[in-house]
Amino acid sequence: MRFENKVVIVTGGASGFGKGIVEKFINEGAKVLIADINYESAKEFSNELGKNAEALKVDVSKALDVENMIKETVLKFSKIDILVQNAAIGMKPRMLIDSSEELFDNLFKINVKSIYLGAKNIIPQFIKQKAAGNIINIVSTAAIRPRPGLALYNATKGALVPMTKALALEVAQYKIRVNGICPVAGETPMLKEFLGEQDPSTAYENFKSTIPLGRLAEPYDVANACLFLSSEEANFITGVMLEVDGGRTI
């Protein structure tokens, strides 16, 4: 198993892409902290997975919660090898001029500030351990090929591209790698919100038709990309945006 004795944190790990990422790491021998705002779902999931999984309630937009997430993981598993920053929120399609300041603030708080907080708190731990660490930021094809009606969401994901690349340069001296994954919309609970008020089946088929490989992303697609970028096979890869999108951004 490729990740035996590795310790992984997955934010937003109780549902959607995060759940698939957690399962894949567990199946490859890792110990995983499932960090999620929905503790009940995270705890139920960790119980299903067994002794190598632990659940923790975390609001990724709060500095104290993220700081505690790092401390609790080290207390439980003695170290951290990989941080997957997956937690995010979406929005219903609307024009930018119809978007509230409250929506703007909330999207940037959850989707951008959280990535800053995670990196700020994990990097000192990686340096302290004197061992190579990995940060994987789950971005989106929205950062590369934005869709109308999602300007604010597009902006939050777009912000993560230079942040990820700049951070990769800053921490390369410590043998810490930082990469991003850009999945197309997937078969997750967020999908209905993204598709908006139009007929769900029509909206689904219309969007699917924009993906050359003819389907939406599945959690295992993103999980496989995470494991590759975290593995020894990718130890000379940092600062990349890996598109997991069936060709949508071509």
Overall pTM surpassing 0.85 (yes/no) = yes
Instruction: Note whether 153 and 126 are within 8 A (CB).
Output: no
Domain 7-244, CATH number (from 3.40.50.720, 1.10.260.40, 3.30.830.10, 3.40.50.300): 3.40.50.720
What value, to the nearest 5°, has the Cα angle with vertex 71 and ends 68 and 76? 120
Q: Are 49 and 72 in contact (CB under 8 A)?
A: no
Catalytic residues: 153
Domain residue spans of the chain: 7-244
Instruction: Tell me how crowded residue 82 is: count the other CB atoms within 10 A of its CB.
Output: 25
Q: In this predicted structure, what is the pLDDT of residue 207?
A: 83
pLDDT in tens, 1-53: 899 999 999 999 999 999 999 999 999 999 999 999 999 999 999 999 999 99
Residue 186 reports pLDDT greater than 90: no
pLDDT at 197: 59
With 70 as the cut, is the pLDDT of residue 224 above it? yes
pLDDT tens digit sequence for 45-90: 999 999 999 999 999 999 999 999 999 999 999 999 999 999 999 9
Cα separation, 18 vs 14, in Å, equals 6
**What is the pLDDT, as a whole number, of residue 111?**
99
Written as six digits, the tokens of 103 are: 């929506």
Residue 91: C-alpha distances to residues 13, 41, 173, 175 (Å) = 20, 22, 38, 36
